[in-house]
Each structure stands twice: as structure tokens, then as C-alpha cells.
Amino acid sequence: MRKPIIAGNWKMNKTAAECRELVTALVPKVKDAKCDVVICVPFTDIALAAELTKGSNIKVGAQNVAWADSGAFTGEISAAMLAEAGAEYVVIGHSERRQYFGETDKTVNARLTQALKYGLKPILCVGEKLEEREGGMTERVCATQVEGAFEGVSAADAEKVVIAYEPVWAIGTGKTATDEQADETIGYIRSVVEKLYGKNTADGMRIQYGGSMNAKNVDGLMAKPQVDGGLIGGASLKADDFAYIVMAAK
């Protein structure tokens, strides 16, 4: 049985003061969760969030990581820096990074490799755009992204990765994949992992749904056998909403 994982992606939201308020409210609400709980916060909130969650069941993650140990990469943050600040997880290849900041399958692979090198647990995002789904290209797009991300990654390291399937057309648009669409595509992604690493690795890998999971649709999505949790956007910015989703994931 795969233990569900619910991760909140705060995106570019929450100052340090707002982080303190949200995390302080969240800790008691999710203390009895039956899933792993992660909050992926802006770089400036990582050390504070790690301090505020110490002794709780909430883990802290970052939203990106550099592909190099150090060097002339203005604006980037290295895996060593993230780990020292208190991050345990890191989101890699989010659709917004691909859309706005030129992320490619090659850079995703480089960042994933770097995260693993320093003991961070990657949350790898893959998913198709609306025109790709309507054009029947969902499986091709997801396979290409998964295969590219895991290029040169050993089976032992692959087992440390969480995949988040995020249909790009369902992020921030109010649209959501049906429970069946999410289950079917995540099942396909699992089959790609099986081709790369074998059935045991595929069966053990946790694959989240990352397309606008919220309090209204969490029960239906989590009832599906392939769905192992969620990467939560807007709903993770409110303690009550995020806690509801966390407590529904069993």
C-alpha cells in the first residue's frame, strides 16, 4: 500500500509574517493525518517554516532547485542551501516553471539529479496542455516528460521521487480532470515508470494529482486506486481548506 502524500504549493505567496500565521494555524489541524503532509514554500519562508513545523508531522519543501552545486547562477538556490535551510522536498518541473521560465525536460533532469544528490525528495511535475489533450497527445507528452526527467537516474534514486500529474489545462482555470481521467492518466504514467524500472518500483511510486484538487473534489479523486494524493495550489493557502484535504487523504 502506498501512503498518500498531500503537498501544498504556495507558489509566490506568503511573507514571513503570513507564513507564521498560516503554519501556526495548520499544525494542530493536521496532527492526526493519515498521509504525509508537505508545504512547499517560497525560498524566503523555508527556514521559518522548518522552525515552526519542528516536532510536527509537516515537512517543508522548496519550489525549485538549481542544477549546479554553486557558481555564477544569479537568482538560483542550490540543493545544499535548501537542505541547510530545512527543506526536505522540492518541486521540480512545475508547469509554471516550464511556461514562464523556459524549463525543459533537460533542465528538469539536471535539477532532479541535483536534488537527489543532496538527499532532497523531488516532487516531479508532468502533464499536458489543453491542446495536447484535445489532440490525443496526453500519453505521448507524459511519457516524454517522465523519460526525460529520469534520464540517467538509478532505480534506487527513482524510488525516492514523487510524481505529480498536473494537467496544465486544469491549473487555475476552474477546470478539473474527472476522477476517471486523473486515474487513467496516472495509471499510464505508472506504466511508463514500470517500463523504465520494473513493476516493483512502479507499484511503490507515489503519483499525485496536481490539477486543482480542492475540498469539493478530494474525496472522489482519492477514492481512485492510482491517485496517491495531491499537489495543492490555491487551497493550500488557507489552513482550513488545506487541512480538510489532508484529513480526507487516507
Residues labelled catalytic: 94, 166
Residue pair 35/246 in contact by the 8 Å Cβ criterion: yes
Contacts of 110 (CB under 8 A, 6+ apart): 67
Q: What is the three-class DSSP state of 218? A: helix
Whole-Å CA distances, 249 to 135, 190, 206, 217, 245? 33, 20, 13, 12, 7
Angle at 94 between CA 19 and CA 221, to 5 degrees: 85
Number of neighbouring beta carbons within 10 Å of residue 50:
18
Q: Which of 237, 162, 230, 234 is nearest to 201 (CA)?
A: 162
Quote the distance between the C-alpha of residue 172 and its chain's center.
16
Instruction: Enter the C-alpha cell of residue 73.
Output: 547562477
Question: Nearest Cα to 105, choosing from 131, 122, 124?
Answer: 124
CB 64 within 8 A of CB 91: yes
Nearest to 37 by CA among 7, 63, 65: 7
Residue 43 grid cell: 525560498
Instruction: Give the largest Cα separation in the chain, rounded.
Output: 48
Distance CA 187, CA 233 (A): 22
